[in-house]
Structure 1
Amino acid sequence: MIVKHEPSPLWLRAWDRDRLAERIEDAVRRGLAGWPLDSGPQLFFRADDVAAPGERCDRMFRIFHDRGAPLDAAVTPAWISSPRAAGLLKLASGPARVDFHVHGWRHVNHETAEPGEPLVSGGKPPKKCEFGPSRPRKAKQRDLETARSRMTGLFGDAFLPVFTPPWNRCDAETLELLADLDFIAVSRDGGALPAAPPTLAEFPVLVDLHTRREDDPDAGMDALLDELAAGLRLPVCGVMIHHQRMNEAAAVFLETLLTALADFQEVRLAGLRSIPGR
């Protein structure tokens, strides 16, 4: 299991909580400006790379429980075991609804250029993808079947048959397999291609809290709040979390965000289980 723990530069600054609240509220108002009176978007929070209970995982769950906000946890099935699942279910028990869904199988990249093979995109290697065109259909189907079976056995009623592909990308063949295997939805970046089959709902993530690349914290915060405003202009908006990269500053932002959102009745905090169209 390999995950990154380094916080993005955005979270290497201690932000003032009161000022954060003001800026978040401004971003929410900007996002809601185009909505008719008494209507607004549904907002969900998706935590990726969930695999084992621990200090940062516990902190994330407590933030949602303390505010009664639903959370969807994307679990990499090959990383999970019975003791780990039991620990996660214990953390999930509380005021907030927490569901668990499939985040790939092993979270391993299979899209690497072979020796002598020309690179794509101006000399860059292929983008990372676990369920991409380099793998045979049977191999992808086997992994998806095994992933679903393991998640069902370990999480029971808390398992939701939604698929989040590692790195938020997969190929058309994988999407067809998901529909054939009775997955109900896929959650990727907003506007991700190829499009899912009609029987597979799309739950897009449009706001990225922790895997940001801006070197300047001010630029990072401006971009993050602009993402939030833009996402809230759409009917469904997902917020992506990586708890392993969530230091104190990032945790304070998440707490402040959830507290601020509670004051906007137009924004419905929803788990994927409750969003219509799934």
Structure 2
Amino acid sequence: MTADWSPLDRELQMWQQQGLHLPLWWRDDDATEPSEALGRLDAMARQFDLPVHLAVIPKSAAPSLVDAVGASAHLLPVVHGWAHKNHAPKDQKKAEFGASRPVEDALSEAEAGLTQLREMFGDALLPLFVPPWNRVSADLLPWMAGAGFGAISTYGPRKTRLAAPGLEQVNTHVDPIDWHGSRSLLSLDGLVARITDQLADRREGRSDRLEPFGLLTHHLAHDTAIWGFCETLIDKLLSGPARPWHYDARIPHT
């Protein structure tokens, strides 16, 4: 069966007809070392000239990853928690930096992650914090800017531009993996419908049009269908109203 992208095509056409632009960014989680999949990720980023914010797990990061990132103009390392370890009680959703932990413990590990990756990547590291499983305690947020972070990224349309004073919220919005089922590509019709609805909400003022629209991937979990979806989606967005965006801690984003 041929995939039906026409609802998204029509929405993108309306954006262009109205002279609107969509800042597009890409985040990929769980990096620890070079791999064939990481090479494919880099190649796709290079193909579209769209940087990938590579969320690196500090405790597990291999020195060889530094060379792989250094050899690429499109892999931008960011901080992915500390150890990607679940601290939530069994009856709650997984979280490394959730409300069940004392703020002091969580903040200490967030700072350790930033320090570890700064030592590895130097100035190439962006001070953007990605909590594993996209969950973070609200009590931790006011402390993050003081710890050296300029932004935090979770999942879903942001409610406000700042998660806390000095801490920008830049979320992701599309995750194509069926984590609770096949672990392959989610229903394409469902994905297209959700993306179309999110873009319509932005265009019509129901959500923040200025927030960069984020694609979330996990290169180590991709199969052929997921890679193909990502390639088609990025191509459609960039051929339409989307413009590549990357986080720059020096520039306040409105």
TM-score range, shorter chain: 0.7 to 0.9
Indicate whether 1:255 and 2:231 are aligned: yes
CA distance in 1 between partners of 2:252 and 2:9 (Å): 22
Partner of 2:82: 105
Q: Deviation per CA, 1:211-235: give whole Å up to 9, x if none.
A: 45466x9971111112222333432
Indicate whether 1:220 and 2:187 are aligned: yes
Q: 1:112 is paired with a residue of what secondary structure?
A: coil
Partner of 1:177: 143
Change (3 A) 1:127 1:188: same
Shift of 1:155: 1.4
Does the Cα contact within 8 Å between 2:26 and 2:51 map onto a contact in 1? yes
Does the Cα contact within 8 Å between 1:64 and 1:70 map onto a contact in 2? yes
CA distance in 2 between partners of 1:89 and 1:47 (Å): 17
Indicate whether 1:136 and 2:117 are aligned: no
Provide TM-score, normalisation by structure 2: 0.84
**Percent identity between the two aligned chains:** 28
Rg: which structure is higher? 1
Partner of 1:155: 121
Q: 2:30 is paired with a residue of what secondary structure?
A: strand
Shift of 1:35: 7.4
Does the Cα contact within 8 Å between 1:27 and 1:225 map onto a contact in 2? yes
Q: 1:196 is paired with a residue of what secondary structure?
A: strand
Q: 1:88 is paired with a residue of what secondary structure?
A: helix
CA distance in 2 between partners of 1:35 and 1:260 (Å): 12
Q: Which amino acid aligns with 1:260?
A: K
More divergent stretch after superposition (188-197 vs 70-79): 188-197
User: How many residue pairs were aligned?
Assistant: 243
Provide TM-score, normalisation by structure 1: 0.77
CA distance in 2 between partners of 1:83 and 1:127 (Å): 32
Does the Cα contact within 8 Å between 1:28 and 1:232 map onto a contact in 2? no
Shift of 1:246: 0.9
The structure, 1 or 2, with the larger RCO (C-alpha pairs under 8 Å, 6+ apart) is 1
Q: Which runs of 5+ in 1 are unaligned?
A: 1-14, 114-124
TM alignment of 1:40-55, pairs within 5 A: 40-55=21-36
Change (3 A) 1:161 1:110: same
Partner of 2:172: 205
Q: Which amino acid aligns with 2:83?
A: R
Give me the CA root mean square deviation.
2.8
CA distance in 2 between partners of 1:28 and 1:100 (Å): 32
Q: Which amino acid aligns with 1:170?
A: V
